[in-house]
Amino acid sequence: MKTKEWAYSKYGGLHVLKLESDFPLPEMKENQLLIKVIDAAVNPIDNKRRLGWFKLNDPPLSIIRGYDVSGVVVKVVSEVKEFKEGDEPIKYGSLSEYAVADAKLFALKPRNLDSLQAAVIPVGLETAYLELEQLGFLRRNRCSFLVVLLAKYWYRASKVAATASPGKLDLIRSLGADLAIDYTKENFEDELEKFDVVFDGVGQGGKAMKLLKEGGKPVIDAKSPFPFDKANEALAYLDTNRAIGKIVVNPIP
């Protein structure tokens, strides 16, 4: 199978990036998905990789470039159980009409976001998560305490809710939590009130998302979306460092 895509065969400036109309997709392997890309977003790492910053660890140059995508599953191998044809995943993909990647690199698109909004999430979210992890924010027990303090006294949140075991409820109240939830007795995801920001430090993201207010949307730059055949212009604009929000390429043919 062949696909239309943006690729380059040597390192350099934007002039090395070419729109190819019949680029061969790799054969699908175990635990992989074939995705029809609907929307894609560009990131600073796209330009840095093209300039050769990571050449020592790079895969072969003659591959499709890009990371953030939102799309539709068109084919799964038999070993994949988490996805089926027609599902709408986000995560790693490329500036391409189709993409093949390991199923573990994808997550289902949040239902309250459209495809364009969802395409801007993966790399930015993962980068923030890894930075917090490296700073020690995502260590169990310590994490929530720091987040409560920051949310209440640094970001001046009007209301902070936090979960804890019975012996730590008074502690999180003293740190600034307005609502302390005993997770051994209450299902925090059933809380009637919704919140603007939800932080999950213990791997309960699916439940935590139920507490997020409707209408929250990622920030997308006003010049987006760029047409697919002008993805090079999107990357050039990214290089100006003037973008306010993520830069999106849409629609993919």
Q: What is the pLDDT of residues 85-137, one digit of tens each?
A: 888 888 766 788 888 888 888 888 877 788 888 888 787 777 666 655 555 54
pTM equals: 0.65
Give the end-to-end CA distance of the chain in Å, rounded to a whole number: 15
Residue 142 pLDDT class (50, 70, 90 cuts) = very low
What is the rounded average pLDDT of the residues 132-159? 61
Q: What is the pLDDT at residue 141?
A: 44
CA dist 48 and 37 (Å) reads 23
Distance CA 231, CA 18 (A): 10
State the Cα–Cα distance between residues 164 and 162, nearest whole angstrom.
Answer: 7
